[in-house]
Amino acid sequence: MARSRGSYYSALKRITRVANSGFGLKKTCNSIAKSAARAMQANGCRILSLSSQKEYLITVGTYGLSDLYLKKGPLDARKSLPDILDGKVVYIADAATDDRVQHPQTALSQGISSILGVPVLGKGQAIGEIRIYTREPRQFSEADKSFLLSVADTCAVIFERAELHQLLQKDYRADERRRKASPASPVPTSTLRPTTFAHSSEEDFARLLDFYCIDWLYEPRSFPLRWEGDKLAEMFTPDFYLPELDLYVELTTLRQNLLTEKNRKLRQLRELHPEVNVRLLNKSDFIKLLAKYGYGPLGEAKVEGVDRVLYSHAQIQRRVRTLARRISDDYAGQRLMLIGILKGVVCFMADLMQHLSLPVTLDFMAISYYGRDDEVVEITRDLDTSITGQHVLMVEDIVDTGMTLNYILGHLSAHNPASLSVCTLLDKRARRLVNVPLGYVGFEIPDEFVVGYGLDYKGEYRNLPFIGILHPELIKGESPQ
Ligand code: IMP
């Protein structure tokens, strides 16, 4: 079925008018999705925005798709048609059998046959996507593709404008507080977030999560609770999903009748979907939850001997993902051997390697120090495998004076690796005595003794999920390591 240039031209005119209408993001994108789907004589359209950490695709506009299909959960950007985010136009002839489709069963149950997806590009980078769905199997023409790419160009302008608007509206006092509390911590980049919350307490909760740099998605998924025949009769949509904690959160209000209803739904949800991690939260529960993961005043006070949190779990995770992306890009097409020094590196190594999109092998060394000031380094466990001719990346928890790393690098280079580089999570540059080349650095930190996330003081604190500064009283009089 050929669509005429004329109908695409008038659809584009309509879309440009809507884009400049001054409506909110969602209304604008819904209207564009409708115009695009109708012009292409398709059954549905979805406009998606990429989250700030480039991990999730968030629906910002739809047309013609059922609630169930839309609320099947946040789309994992790396799994759901990743080629689109690489800037390509993707065509799926049969969504039910194509293994690039993340939820083929849902597509099948909704009668979706073909999908055409194009990237929304901002400054040459994918910042979102548009997907067109048809019930009948469909071949898309060049004219279809170039029409959708023009719609995507309009969406790019809308996304960037919405982001700018949100940045301008940002609560500066919250930013100030965050900067004062931790000058070294990065201000999180803005995401296209829903502008309207159902309740003001949800907005407060979202701000609190932002303050502690915890990623969140608002109402990303609905869970079916009851069916009448083949019709869905009841669903439950938790208020928030916190991807880093894999946790759904439903906020409670003080009204008892609502609470009872929520408790009933939650019970049902847990029975029907035991794999779903969901919590009903009131304010005090929420503070306790933050504490459990090392955030907030309770989180800091809870750990005896730790003065303050330097980097929260969420901040570390973000940085680790960024480092992994850079390493994956730099070593693309190669096999990489990761070498860690036990034991401080265990948390960092475990997280880093999971985010590398390369074939990797892994080995560990152990060392001990002796001499009056621990100035002599000895290898107590050497590598199991040969590194000759391999691309080697030394993964370190912290580089302090640089003496240890200098010694280990000397030892490794004697075995003629193809390349040898270093990735350290923490760099205490102020105390450097030996100049060691660092290829990748997570955070440059002040001259303080830090513990947690694998780092210890006298064998303790390694299990803290955050990096904290040890109370100076504890190490007073000791010579620093
Ligand atoms: P170097 O001074 O660079 O040789 O650092 C040697 C080792 O000292 C590191 O691998 C850590 O195990 C340890 N270290 C240095 N600074 C700290 C710290 O702040 N917390 C915990 N361990 C540290």
Domain assignment present for residue 15? The answer is yes
Please indicate, yes or no, whether residues 396 and 427 belong to a single structural domain of this protein: yes
Please indicate, yes or no, whether residues 234 and 363 belong to a single structural domain of this protein: no
Q: Which helix (H) or strand (E) holds 270?
A: helix 256-272
- Provide the token pair at 429: 């540059």
Q: What does the pLDDT read at residue 411?
A: 94
Q: State the Cα–Cα distance between residues 30 and 35, nearest whole angstrom.
A: 9
From ligand 1's centre to the CA of 406, what distance in Å? 13
Q: State the Cα–Cα distance between residues 205 and 249, nearest whole angstrom.
A: 10
Domain assignment present for residue 258? The answer is yes
Q: Is the CB of 406 under 6 A from ligand 1?
A: no
Please indicate, yes or no, whether residues 349 and 464 belong to a single structural domain of this protein: yes
Domain assignment present for residue 178? The answer is no
Please indicate, yes or no, whether residues 242 and 336 belong to a single structural domain of this protein: no
Q: Among 346, 348, 344, 327, which Cα is nearest to 336's?
A: 327
Domain assignment present for residue 182? The answer is no
Please indicate, yes or no, whether residues 239 and 358 belong to a single structural domain of this protein: no
- Provide the token pair at 64: 């013609």
Please indicate, yes or no, whether residues 129 and 269 belong to a single structural domain of this protein: no
Domain assignment present for residue 93? The answer is yes
Rounded average pLDDT per 10-residue block, the chain, 481 residues: 69 89 79 94 90 75 74 68 89 88 75 92 88 92 94 90 56 42 36 57 74 74 81 84 83 72 88 87 71 54 79 86 94 96 96 95 91 76 94 97 92 96 95 92 93 94 91 69 42
Q: State the Cα–Cα distance between residues 309 and 323, nearest whole angstrom.
A: 21
From ligand 1's centre to the CA of 301, what distance in Å? 24
Q: Which of 302, 330, 346 is the last residue of a domain?
A: 302
Please indicate, yes or no, whether residues 287 and 337 belong to a single structural domain of this protein: no
Residue type, 187: V
From ligand 1's centre to the CA of 400, what distance in Å? 5
Tell me the CATH number at 228. Answer: 3.40.960
From ligand 1's centre to the CA of 375, what distance in Å? 12
pTM tops 0.95, yes or no? no
Q: Is the CB of 47 under 6 A from ligand 1?
A: no
Give the residue, out of 342, 398, 425, 441, with the most ligand 1 atoms within 8 A of its beta carbon, to mutate for a pocket test: 398
Domain assignment present for residue 469? The answer is yes
Q: What does the pLDDT read at residue 172?
A: 39
Please indicate, yes or no, whether residues 320 and 444 belong to a single structural domain of this protein: yes
Ligand 1 atom closest to Cα of 399?
3
Please answer whether residues 397 and 425 qualify as being in contact, where contact means their C-beta atoms are separated by less than 8 angstroms. yes
Please indicate, yes or no, whether residues 110 and 218 belong to a single structural domain of this protein: no
Ligand 1 atom closest to Cα of 449?
19
Please indicate, yes or no, whether residues 297 and 319 belong to a single structural domain of this protein: no
If one counts the domains in the chain, the total is 3
- Provide the token pair at 402: 């640089």
Please answer whether residues 378 and 368 qualify as being in contact, where contact means their C-beta atoms are separated by less than 8 angstroms. yes
Tell me the CATH number at 109. Answer: 3.30.450.40
Q: Is the CB of 166 under 6 A from ligand 1?
A: no
Q: Is the CB of 74 under 6 A from ligand 1?
A: no
Q: What does the pLDDT read at residue 291?
A: 61
Task: Judge residue 77's burial from the number of C-beta atoms within 10 Å of its C-beta, 0-12 exposed, 13-18 middle, 19 or more buried.
Answer: buried
Q: 61 is in which domain, residue-wise?
A: 5-164
Q: What does the pLDDT read at residue 65?
A: 80
